[in-house]
């Protein structure tokens, strides 16, 4: 075993590096390094730090049900220049939500790339919001 590793050190190095790349997101804090907050922390951020709640669902999903006070910016429109629904102050905390939390996790990277400093996802998405008995709204278009 030792002689194999010595003769094939580069294979061992490749295995260690690839393992490190696989573990990096877990070490950094979840899927893709996206920081997730629970519903209580999201409400605290909204009340005390003026966090903006952004729902990255499609318009039809948003109309059917969304967290109270959330702005709708569909995932596909996050990169659009001059998006008026996003806060102009990029230092404000932004909490992203979608029905399950998967799209919101992917959206973190897009907003960080756009210069937003404090972007988090709502752990569990809209389902967790409902489970915490927080207000859920429906749009007239639903």
In this prediction, residue 30 carries a pLDDT of: 47
pTM of the model: 0.73
Strand ranges in the chain using DSSP code E only, listed in sequence order: 36-37, 52-55, 66-67, 71-72, 94-97, 119-122, 136-137
In this prediction, residue 78 carries a pLDDT of: 87
Model confidence over 62-87: pLDDT tens digits? 999 999 999 999 998 888 756 788 89
Grade residue 1 by pLDDT with cuts at 50, 70 and 90: confident
């Amino acid at each position: 075993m030792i002689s194999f590793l010595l003769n094939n050190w580069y294979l061992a190095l490749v295995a260690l590096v690839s393992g490190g790349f696989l573990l990096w997101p877990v070490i950094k804090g979840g899927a893709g390094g996206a920081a997730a907050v629970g519903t209580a922390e999201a409400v605290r951020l909204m009340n005390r730090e003026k966090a903006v709640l952004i729902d990255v669902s499609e318009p039809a999903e948003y109309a059917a049900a969304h967290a109270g006070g959330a702005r709708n910016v569909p995932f596909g429109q996050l990169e659009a220049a001059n998006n008026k629904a996003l806060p102009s102050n990029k230092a404000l905390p932004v909490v992203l939500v979608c029905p399950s939390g998967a799209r919101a996790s992917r959206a973190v990277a897009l907003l960080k790339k756009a210069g937003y400093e404090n972007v988090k996802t709502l752990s569990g998405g809209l389902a967790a919001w409902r489970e915490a008995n927080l207000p859920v709204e429906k749009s007239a278009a639903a």
